[in-house]
Amino acid sequence: MTAEMTTPDVTGREAEDLANAGLSVDGAELREVLEHYYEKGWTDGLPVVPVTESYLQEFLARTPRDPDDVLFEVPHLNRALTVRLAAINAGLAGCLPAYFPVVVAAWDAIAQEPHPRRGIWQSTTGTAPLTVVNGPIREEIGLNSAGNVFGSGFRANATIGRAIRLALINVFGLVPHQLDQATQGTPAKYTACIAEWEEESPWEPLHVEQGLDASDSAVTAFVVRSVVHIEARHTSDPDQLARDFADTVARTGALIHEYTNALLVLTPEHAQVFASAGWSKDDVRRAVFGHAVRTRAELKAVGKDAISHNARWRLPADHPDAMPDTASGTDDPDHVHALGRPSSVQVMVAGANNAGVSAVVEVFGLAPERTPRERPCSVSRIERR
């Protein structure tokens, strides 16, 4: 790195330090190692951290799990991820060893998800893993739950999410244009890991809702399709705000299957709009469910007024594989719910407390006819040695 490559606000001694940062190592040898990793296809397109056996042992020392324990497997690919392989990819991603228990818990949570084993990570939709972290470990390792929570700038967030992606590439072979068939993909395919800002939430945090103790550190896993920001700086009326979220949840472009699912990531400001009116999380869920409705005519206009016999994907009523959707057999067939039930919506708090900007994270979840699980989400307690 040269002084000319530094940012404009780095001057004087700071610029000199940056310019000299690489002088104690052989830059040519380092580049040779990095190029070797590229040639082997062991990266996501960005440089990775070389992992030696001694460095690997620092990761393995942080978990009580045996290195040969299988964390996740995909039967149709005949491939499995062990603790050791997860540690290698965490090191490659730039994780510190202290982050590794979060990575292990993330894989435990992913293994509970009903979709990934069936090839969802290979989908043309371009799905990606989203990891949400709760509990004391957030502060211990510096996970961001506030401003720019979906963005850059925080090593723990960036590298924990990236550790999952690199393992999908290096262990399961999910390489773009090969086993990864995403049509366009999503930035979440690089990394997607956030923490909940529990201290700014008026409600119990996500992991406590799912039966864990507030003192537990935990990871909840989601299969994310997209993150849509909601600009709502104009109102302090909770019903108006719920309608704003519902409009995004029920947008026709999101209606792939008969029903959709959503994770509402509320900024503290929006959470307080609801809480100040006496709303609980369940009240938010019920309101969004009730308002997330499209008319039959609106669905017909975009060719989504029926569903497939086989896949239950939305398609035109005159399609050869079409059958009436569930709403067609109700007392009000001309109004179609985008969500199967209120529990199709999960709610958490994250983001800066400086503006009315929240997010609807479009996620895959269980259809209403599926037997409910013990918990609505896939959560795993973080264990450390």
Question: Per the domain annotation, does 317 fall within a domain?
Answer: no
pLDDT at 240 over 70: yes
Across 128-158, b (16+ Cβ under 10 Å) vs e yields bbbbbbbbebbeebebbbbeebbeeebebbb
In a domain, 152, yes or no: yes
* Average of per-residue pLDDT values in the chain: 91
- Provide the pLDDT for residue 135: 98
Residues 302-311: pLDDT tens digits? 999 999 998 8
Residue 312 inside a domain? The answer is no
Mean pLDDT of the region 242-266: 95
Is the pLDDT score of 373 beyond 80? no
pTM of the predicted protein model: 0.91
pLDDT tier, 312 (very low <50, low <70, confident <90, very high otherwise): confident
Give the domain extent around 364: 41-292+338-381
Q: Is residue 314 part of a domain?
A: no
- Asked if the structure places residue 141 within a domain, the reply is yes
Residue 371 pLDDT: 47
Q: What is the pLDDT of residues 56-76, one digit of tens each?
A: 999 999 999 999 999 999 999
The one-letter code for the residue type at 335 is: H
In a domain, residue 372? The reply is yes
Give the count of domains, the chain.
1
Six-digit token pair at 85? Answer: 């392989």
Q: What is the mean pLDDT of residues 4-25?
A: 51
Structural domain includes residue 354: yes
Within-domain flag for 17: no
pLDDT higher than 70, residue 204: yes
